[in-house]
Chains A and B, each alone.
Chain A
Amino acid sequence: MEKGKTYVEDIDRGIYDIKNEVRYSFKTEKGLTPEIVKAISREKNEPEWMTEFRLKSLEIYNSKPVPTWGADLSDLDIENIVTYIRPDTDMKSSWDEVPEDIKKTFDLLGIPKAEQESLAGVGAQYDSEVVYHNMREDLIKKGVVYTDMETAVREYEEIVRKHFMKLVPPTDHKFAALHGAVWSGGSFVYVPEGVVVDIPLQSYFRLNAPGAGQFEHTLIILEKGAKLHFIEGCSAPKHSVNNLHAGCVELFVNEGARLRYSTIENWSRNIYNLNTKRAVVERNGIIEWVSGSFGSKVSMLYPMSILKGEGARAEFTGITFASKGQYLDTGAKVVHAAPYTTSTINSKSISKDGGHAFYRGLLRVAPNAHHCKSTVSCESLMLDNKSKSDTLPIIELGNDNIDIGHEAKIGRISDEAIFYLMSRGISEEEAKAMIVRGFVEPIAKELPLEYAVEMNNLIKLELEGAIG
């Protein structure tokens, strides 16, 4: 057996680019038919309603056009994406039983170490199914559930049935329908009333097989007064075939609950990242999004918060870094659907080396949502003259008793700032790097330490060679 080829396509992104030999126990034909969808469902031993749901989603998928706004998706050959690839390992409860090559990749990504040190649970998705899962004992005793979606469908069927794709219905858009038809893997978290999970739960997704799509589903339910920080990180090795990621995240934040959902996404540069994330927040609940978009060839990602209960709150902090060959169309959507709701959107983007960063946002205030407050701020930094940076925030206000502010800025690093730092004895390169670090600092400080370090490393790697 080949031990794994090392692809070094950037300076040190290498650790994300180790490809394992592809081994399958089951693999669907290319393209999408009801038979494939049925086969996926059968393979997973799913209840009938889920099989029905998948078939219905497939119908919707076939009836919807590919969106024509935003990114150019003409390169994405949907028929050729193998939708379901399961590694030939079953669920393991102990790390030792995970196959060596898979383990090694995760080791490089630092997952088991993180777990030993501080993390409550690790769900690592390898291709389409979760291969490794574990959670701290005391949380299980409190009734916290953290498992993969397949298990959840079987063991927590009622809860899943009540919530699954209710927030992001397959009718939402073409890729949501595709997700509904072929979803596989992902995390399910249930935190009972009043339970506070004091350390972050973490899951790392990973794509491996060439031409494979990834359609993981994340469903998180926080009951009254519960608290959770969930971290989702993504990384994938580079292959020559275009890869599609059309995941779906549904977050239910009940009365007084508080959920922080952090993502550092670093897909390799051939991935189409067409992810749909949505949260609904009940009375006095809080949703906090922390989102870093670094990787992928094309991203279209706009996490949405629906503030449904009075006093609900949403915060979005995001950074997008578009480099050579990347078109990252990201942003945030907030719907104020109840009185006294608050939202804060803080988005930053950096583009360099021909990268194109696009902020696209929506702020909607329903007619009944009086006394709501919102601030939206977008800042863009362009590091050279080959790159592009656009901002398109849509603001729709449905009543008068509100307080809304929006600001956006675009520009490059000012010569004065560089000159000042250089006059203090700092080299030009270092001065530029310092300014960029200062620019992303508000986001870095929202992240758990190891992610902040990872993000800073990513930025450092991106800047080397670019500046000077």
Chain B
Amino acid sequence: MYSIELLNGLLCKKEEWIKAYRLRKFEEFEKLPVPSWKRLKLENFSIPDFKEYRKEFLKNDIDGEGIFVKDINDVSALDEFKEYIDVQKSFGISDKFVTLGEAFYNSGVVIKAASKLKEPVRISYSLDNENSVVIDHNIIVAERDSEITVVIDYSSLSENEEYMNFFHNGVTKVYAADKAVVNIVKVQRMSNSAYHFDSNVAFIGREAKVNWISVEIGSGISATSFITNLEKTASESSLKSIYFGDGESRIDMQYTMNHIGMRSISNIETRGALKDKARKVFRGNLDFKKGARKAKGEEAEYALLLDPTVKADAIPVLFCAEDDVQGNHAASAGQIDENQLFYLMSRGFNEKEAKKLIVEASFKPIIDSIPVEDIKESINLEIHRRLVYV
């Protein structure tokens, strides 16, 4: 149970302000009910019990000149992040899960970049029977003119080694100061017995950029939210995502671009495929606030439906309170194009192979933009494995 006793246990030896912060988040958490989600069919969900995550998740040690990377539980690390830890606006998949992450995190990183860094920071969680719960809280700050890439990978024991109730609940806060560039890659490839809840929020300065890549190819229930605030003049953000649903998996994606600054630019591109009885909900929101003159936003979603039993919902929303903007959204869904299929089959592929190729080809541009070779490889393998039964 997520009780005050548990929290007090976690908070011993922590700094006072951090204690106060987490206790405040706990109070909020306690008041909120566990949400019911109509489209994901999440009802009477009981949050799996707290466990420590004891494995090493920081994969490369690049702490040094111009970069600061630490485990969030490292007591000495947090003072510098005091002003970034609290987000005033509500964000994420639901306040319940966000406050859960903020009060009870068992892992996560704090990162501060001061210069342009070539090598990506790699964080990797691999859930198993002893470490079946990951509640991570990440704060990523890029100072003026800096550049950083962070790759976070969530995987678990494979389907064969039976385990239920893998649980990931994450909160990630990203701050890009003027002219900074932040690339965040999130890969989720846990087994279908896992629950995956992930809340992300970004604040972007003048002429700064935040580029998200989200890969959702696992979990029985996956709910992700990326809220990007393009706060200043010429703030820029792109979000590229792929998803793959099979079995009875249910995927809910919420991507919001809040255009506040003048000449801010955003782009959302989502490609996915569904088979068996999988279900997905795509929510793409472009919100042009008043004053966001000459802002541009685009969103596009393409869904490939591989079986008659899938369900695909899309809610692409445009809010517009400023006339001098350009907003476009497009969504399409359907089966694999017969001409493409026919062409490949005329070249000697059987139908299954041809379908596989087409799905993989549609994902390729997004997977290719991931800067870490072995993760790219794992994603390709995972998609390949899941596509075997097309």
Report the Cα distance A393→B334, complex, angstroms.
Answer: 17
Name the CB-closest residue of A to B305. A400
A397 and B329 form a contact (CB under 8 A): no
Report the Cα distance A394→B282, complex, angstroms.
Answer: 10
B248 interface hit (Cβ, 8 Å): no
B311 interface hit (Cβ, 8 Å): yes
Q: With A390-B317, A400-B308 in contact, is A412–B324 under 8 Å at CB?
A: yes
B305 and A388 form a contact (CB under 8 A): no
Name the CB-closest residue of B to A403. B334
- B321: chain A residues at CB < 8 Å are 388
Tell me the chain B residues, 315-333 only, with Cβ under 8 Å from chain A. Answer: 315-333
A383 interface hit (Cβ, 8 Å): yes
B323 and A395 form a contact (CB under 8 A): no
B307 interface hit (Cβ, 8 Å): yes
A396 and B320 form a contact (CB under 8 A): no
For A399, give its contact among B309, B322, B323, B325 (CB under 8 Å).
B309
- B331: chain A residues at CB < 8 Å are 395, 404-406
B318 and A385 form a contact (CB under 8 A): no
A384 and B332 form a contact (CB under 8 A): no
For A411, give its contact among B311, B327, B332 (CB under 8 Å).
B327
A367 interface hit (Cβ, 8 Å): yes
Report the Cα distance A406→B310, complex, angstroms.
Answer: 19
Tell me the chain A residues, 358-393 only, with Cβ under 8 Å from chain B. Answer: 367, 370, 380, 382-385, 387-393
A385 and B332 form a contact (CB under 8 A): no
- A406: chain B residues at CB < 8 Å are 314, 316, 329-332
Report the Cα distance A397→B39, complex, angstroms.
Answer: 12
- B306: chain A residues at CB < 8 Å are 400
A398 and B311 form a contact (CB under 8 A): yes
Q: With A395-B314, A409-B327, A410-B325 in contact, is A404–B334 under 8 Å at CB?
A: yes
B8 interface hit (Cβ, 8 Å): no
B290 and A385 form a contact (CB under 8 A): yes
A400 and B310 form a contact (CB under 8 A): yes
A396 and B313 form a contact (CB under 8 A): yes
How many residues belonging to B are interface residues under a CB distance threshold of 8 Å? 35
Q: With A406-B332, A410-B320 in contact, is A392–B315 under 8 Å at CB?
A: yes
B329 and A408 form a contact (CB under 8 A): yes
Report the Cα distance A397→B279, complex, angstroms.
Answer: 9
Report the Cα distance A383→B320, complex, angstroms.
Answer: 12
Shortest CB distance B276–A (Å):
11
- B313: chain A residues at CB < 8 Å are 394-397
Shortest CB distance A444–B (Å):
23
- B319: chain A residues at CB < 8 Å are 388, 390
- B309: chain A residues at CB < 8 Å are 367, 399-400
Report the Cα distance A400→B332, complex, angstroms.
Answer: 12
For A390, give its contact among B318, B329, B330, B333 (CB under 8 Å).
B318
B330 and A411 form a contact (CB under 8 A): no
Give A240-271 as 1s and 0s: 1 = Cβ < 8 Å from B's Cβ atoms: 00000000000000000000000000000000
Q: With A394-B315, A401-B308 in contact, is A387–B323 under 8 Å at CB?
A: yes
A402 interface hit (Cβ, 8 Å): yes
B307 and A395 form a contact (CB under 8 A): no
Give A406-434 as 1s and 0s: 1 = Cβ < 8 Å from B's Cβ atoms: 11111110000000000000000000000
Shortest CB distance A329–B (Å):
13
Shortest CB distance B174–A (Å):
27
A408 and B333 form a contact (CB under 8 A): no
Name the CB-closest residue of B to A357. B320
Shortest CB distance B211–A (Å):
24
Name the CB-closest residue of B to A391. B318
A400 and B335 form a contact (CB under 8 A): yes
Name the CB-closest residue of B to A414. B326
Q: With A399-B308, A400-B310 in contact, is A410–B334 under 8 Å at CB?
A: no
Report the Cα distance A409→B303, complex, angstroms.
Answer: 20
B11 interface hit (Cβ, 8 Å): no
A401 and B335 form a contact (CB under 8 A): yes
- B311: chain A residues at CB < 8 Å are 396-398
B308 and A391 form a contact (CB under 8 A): no
Tell me the chain B residues, 364-383 only, with Cβ under 8 Å from chain A. Answer: none
- A412: chain B residues at CB < 8 Å are 323-325
Shortest CB distance A145–B (Å):
42
Shortest CB distance B19–A (Å):
38
- A403: chain B residues at CB < 8 Å are 334
Report the Cα distance A169→B331, complex, angstroms.
Answer: 32
Shortest CB distance A352–B (Å):
9
Shortest CB distance A27–B (Å):
43
Report the Cα distance A122→B332, complex, angstroms.
Answer: 44
Shortest CB distance B173–A (Å):
28
Report the Cα distance A400→B309, complex, angstroms.
Answer: 7
B312 interface hit (Cβ, 8 Å): yes
B325 and A402 form a contact (CB under 8 A): no
Report the Cα distance A406→B303, complex, angstroms.
Answer: 12
Report the Cα distance A382→B331, complex, angstroms.
Answer: 23
Tell me the chain B residues, 328-359 only, with Cβ under 8 Å from chain A. Answer: 328-335
A392 and B317 form a contact (CB under 8 A): yes
- B324: chain A residues at CB < 8 Å are 385, 412
10 other A-B residue contacts (CB within 8 Å) besides A400-B274, A408-B316, A412-B324: A382-B322, A387-B323, A392-B318, A397-B305, A397-B313, A400-B305, A407-B329, A408-B330, A411-B326, A412-B325
7 intermolecular pairs with C-beta atoms under 8 Å apart: A385-B322, A395-B331, A397-B305, A400-B274, A402-B333, A404-B333, A408-B327
- Which 7 pairs from chain A and chain B are nearest by CB? A400-B305, A382-B323, A410-B327, A391-B318, A412-B323, A397-B312, A395-B314
Residues in chain A within 8 A of chain B (CB atoms): 367, 370, 380, 382-385, 387-412
